[in-house]
Chain A
């Protein structure tokens, strides 16, 4: 079979990948899901996640053939229950350690954090294995080899380096972890690999890094220049005239603090404004580095499209926030009028606030999924330019489906994704 026989679908013009999903159907799916999540205290999430994946996978067409997601919600539920069974003794041990009055009790928080961080990375790798083995294309499934523990320790080591280097090591972390994932990823018997270079990403991302950290560095420089000893002495002495003494020891203190806060604000604003550009850069770099045998990918994701998605999110979220504010005020006034100010009135007010909070959080997360995440998937897929598609023609089946334990663990540890 050659490509020519199904060119009718418009594949040649879109570089081999099409996304057929309608935004409206996605909205419907998410809104119904959010409503059911609220009334089931979140238990419905296994079904919602499965629906979301079925929608995204099915509507993604590579070289004329749509992907297929074969996972089920019951598998996810089972994986979650197994993960809980495993985590109960772990959490009990942490609880008991926290009761210790000695060194162990002091360190228990730190130990728990470290252990859960490693476990979280482990879960991320195993969850990826589950998703890959539930992804079917042309009657063959993907699979993933490699050790989740090896990945977890590698990831934690990289995170430490990245934090210590103020994020400068992040491109190399991404490249290294992605190399590990992709060299263990297979479509049937066709091995994947990752060829993007961390150094290239560093060079491209450096301007953003400078824009974000330069104001912070200026702020730190000014703060370090203060006479801290005099400041601490003044604080320790206390008394009525603390502020006067502080001013005396550090004539420039007030303006230094104002300057530092201003710089911090600039840094945060720039970070927020640059975030979509950062995301675009990473996505483009990452998808251009993916390889399966002779199959190569190139992403032509456009910056303005990603900013458009964020603009839509902000627009919808603003409207939603306004609606919530109005509805919330009306609800609170009504409760106040009906229930009065005694104990039952206070409980009713608390309940209204609680429900309002849940609706707000779920609403914003739904809008985010339907705007930003949907667009990133759609744009990410449609901007792909594939070459060497013939590599997909003679692949043989290989690999077995894995359990959903990793997904359950990721869910229980709150590191899950879709």
Chain B
């Protein structure tokens, strides 16, 4: 059989034409029952189009119109399949194409993950140091606003920052003295703004732009001023390394990268957040180790007790940052303490505060 019937649409009007289809050696010939020639399609210009299983739908590659030929006779469709180069009803051609697509999307996925893992931290690390101090300070102020919204419960009507009421000023003076010695040793290009926050957690945090909060709970846990100085020195390390700024840049990059590219199909948000947490905790593990090193060396330079940071870490179980115990932001506390003790200078140290000053610092949140 080298001819059959089909339905032809000329792509100019919607009229349906019953057609006689002839398979000549070079082309597929479509003509009307009256002998009118509708078209002659060379076998290498025929494409197969989306159609129900019961039908073979053909179009002509490069045709200016959407002319279509529909074949419903399976045996005849098979004959055309054998002749037309780009038609493959077994689906082999399509499967091969699909495998190529899958290969490419795999490659794209891998590159995306690599960018998130290595590229973003690298970009953030290079971008953060060249950000002007004013911009960084501004970032810090925004974070500060959010942080106060989250942490400042306004309980008892007392201000978030301790050290303002009458009975607290002596504690504030002690903190200033401690900070003066640390800042003199650190010689940072930007001024630090350190205060004690009225919170019960044993925590300290550094924001971009040089703002540092020591939570009251940490002072309650500490045995002496050097331990507080050690914790603050660790936070100064974050400021000097611009970790807060880097984390913000990384966060923005990550939520953009995954939030947009992942699309809605997976149901979005939660996956992005979780991925972000996993990725960011791996960034901050390195950042914590670097801040430990910086903090210990700063304590050495300031003539304080380099091991004090290790002691306070042990007391708080390594949790110096909020919300990080779940994902282990910090490397194992024991390993951290060991490396701090390796770095700490062996010479005798001068305490940061007199006993009376330390007692005052302990009362910095006592209220009026």
Contacts and interface: CB of A to CB of B under 8 A. Distances in A.
B176 interface: no
A346 B142 CA distance: 32
Nearest to B282: A347
Interface in A274-314: none
Given A44-B102, A393-B14, A395-B14, A70 B50 contact: yes
Residue in B66, B138, B142 whose Cβ sees the most chain A Cβ within 10 Å: B66
A42 interface: yes
B50 A65 contact: no
Contacts of B54: 20
Interface in B5-20: 9-16, 18
A101 B16 contact: no
Contacts of B317: none
B26 to A, nearest CB: 24
A93 interface: no
Given A37-B266, A87-B260, A362-B266, A69 B50 contact: yes
B367 to A, nearest CB: 16
Interface in A22-52: 36-45, 47-48
B82 interface: no
Contact of B50 (A37, A54, A91, A343): A54
A397 B65 CA distance: 9
17 contacts: A20-B53, A37-B266, A41-B262, A47-B105, A58-B51, A59-B52, A66-B51, A66-B55, A99-B142, A101-B142, A105-B142, A139-B10, A139-B11, A139-B68, A350-B278, A394-B14, A397-B66
Given A412-B260, A414-B268, A43 B109 contact: yes
Residue in B11, B18, B264, B332 whose Cβ sees the most chain A Cβ within 10 Å: B264
B61 interface: no
Interface in B121-147: 138-139, 141-142, 145
Interface string B105-123: 1101100110000000000
A169 interface: no
Interface in A65-84: 65-66, 68-70, 73, 84
A354 B278 contact: yes
Contact of B261 (A43, A70, A393): A43
Nearest to A47: B101
Contact of B326 (A43, A68, A346): A346
A212 interface: no
Interface string B1-42: 000000001111111101000000000000000000000000
Interface stretch (B222-230, B269-277, B357-365): B269-277
Given A136-B66, A346-B326, A350-B327, A395 B51 contact: no
Given A20-B54, A66-B55, A40 B108 contact: yes
Given A140-B11, A140-B14, A141-B66, A346 B328 contact: yes
Contact size class for B?
Answer: 35 or more
Interface of B: 9-16, 18, 49-55, 57, 65-68, 98, 101-102, 105-106, 108-109, 112-113, 138-139, 141-142, 145, 252, 256, 258, 260-268, 270-271, 274-275, 277-278, 326-328, 331-332
A343 B278 contact: no
A137 B10 CA distance: 12
A396 interface: yes
Contact of B15 (A347, A350, A394, A414): A394
A4 interface: no
Residue in B14, B252, B270 whose Cβ sees the most chain A Cβ within 10 Å: B14
Contact of B109 (A41, A57, A61, A411): A41
Contacts of B258: 41
A377 interface: no
B266 A393 contact: no
Contact of A61 (B52, B113, B275): B52
Given A70-B50, A361-B266, A416-B264, 6 more contacts: A20-B52, A41-B262, A61-B52, A68-B51, A362-B266, A393-B15
Contacts of B52: 20-21, 58-59, 61, 66
Contacts of A164: none
Contacts of A61: 52
Contacts of B332: 342-343
A253 B159 CA distance: 33
Interface in A370-415: 392-397, 411-412, 414
A141 B145 CA distance: 55
A69 B16 CA distance: 19
B217 to A, nearest CB: 22
Contact of A95 (B15, B53, B252, B278): B252
B50 A68 contact: yes
A-B pairs with lowest CB-CB distance, top 3: A139-B9, A361-B267, A395-B14
Contacts of B53: 20
Contacts of A44: 102, 105
Nearest to A397: B12
A411 B66 contact: no
A188 B14 contact: yes
Contacts of B267: 361-362, 365
Contacts of A39: 106, 109
A359 B151 CA distance: 35
